[in-house]
Amino acid sequence: MLQYDSQGVLEIIPAETLHSFDAGYKLVNQRLMFDASLYYQFYRDFQSSKWEGMNYLVMHVEKATSYGAELSVRTMINDYLNFFGNYAYARAIFDEKDSKGNAQLNAGNTLRLTPRHSFLIGCTAGVDISQNMRIMLTPTYSWQSHIWFEDANDNGIEQDAYGLLHANLSLRLKRQGLIVSLFGSNLAGEKYLISAGNMGAMFGIPTFVPGAPRMMGGKLKWMF
C-alpha cells in the first residue's frame, strides 16, 4: 500500500503475508461432540497502525507470531438436557527482532483485541408440554482475559478481564413453525469496553466505546 507520512513523504508499505498451520481432532457420537485443535501462525511484513500527530498511519512491523489451542464440547445428558462449552488459548505477540536482528517496533507487545484466555459455557433444558409445544431455557456465560485495543499496548487503552451472562427462554409451536422467545443479555450488568483510542487519540483524548448494558427483549420467528 501507499501512504504519506506526517512530513508529506511517500511511503511504500510491503504486502502483509500470513503463514498458518493447524491440526485437530474431532469425535462425534450419539451423546458427545468434541473437537480440539492446535494452530501456529507467523506474519511477515505485519501492518500495524497508530496515530502520529493528526495522521493515522500504517506502520511496518516485520515479524509477529501467534499460536494457541481451541477446545469445544457438547454433550447430551438425555432428551431434556445438554451442556456445551468451548475454551481458547491464544498467544499473539510481535517478535523481539526482525530478520536482520534489529529491535522491532512494538517488540514483545500483544496484538490488539487478542485475549490470552477465553471460554463459554452453557446448557439447554427443554421439555414438551404437549405434542405441539416445547419450552426451552438456554443460559450461557462467556469470559475473556485482558485485551489491548492498540498494538502499542498503551496504558489505559485496554480492557481487564470480564464475563457476560445471557439467557434465552423460548416456546416452540412445532406444527405452526413458530418460536416465541424472551431473552436477556448481560444480566449481571457488567461494565466493559469494546473499543478505546479511536479518533479521540489524535487530540490526546482517547475515545472509549462501552459495551452493551443489560438488555431484555423478545423475538418471534416463523419458519415456513
Instruction: Kindly list the structural domains of the chain, giving each domain's residue range(s) and its CATH number in brackets, ordered by start.
Output: 2-222 (2.40.170.20)
Cell reading at 200? 479521540
The residue whose grid cell reads 511484513 is: 45
Give CA–CA dist 99/42, Å, rounded. Answer: 13
Q: For residue 54, what pLDDT is reported?
A: 62
Give CA–CA dist 184/179, Å, rounded. Answer: 16
- Residue 54: CA count within 13 A, CB half-sphere: 2
Q: Which of 49, 45, 56 is nearest to 6 (CA)?
A: 56
The residue type of 170 is S
Q: For residue 6, what pLDDT is reported?
A: 67
pTM comes to: 0.87
Do residues 40 and 87 touch, judged by C-beta distance below 8 A? no
Give CA–CA dist 50/152, Å, rounded. Answer: 8
Residues of the chain with pLDDT under 70: 5-6, 51-56
Q: Rounded to the nearest 10 degrees, how much is the dihedral formed by the CA atoms of 101, 106, 112, 117? A: 70
Q: For residue 48, what pLDDT is reported?
A: 83
Q: For residue 13, what pLDDT is reported?
A: 84
Task: Name residues whose C-beta falls within 8 Å of residue 126's C-beta, 6 or more positions apart in sequence.
Answer: 80, 81, 134, 135, 136, 137
Q: For residue 127, what are the CA distances in angstroms to 103, 133, 166, 180? A: 61, 9, 20, 15
Phi, then psi, of 204 in degrees rounded to 5: 80, 10
Q: For residue 51, what pLDDT is reported?
A: 67
Q: For residue 132, what are the CA distances in angstroms to 13, 122, 129? A: 61, 26, 8
Q: For residue 114, what pLDDT is reported?
A: 96
Q: What is the pLDDT of residues 127-161, one digit of tens each?
A: 999 999 999 999 999 999 999 999 989 899 999 99
Cell reading at 132? 405441539
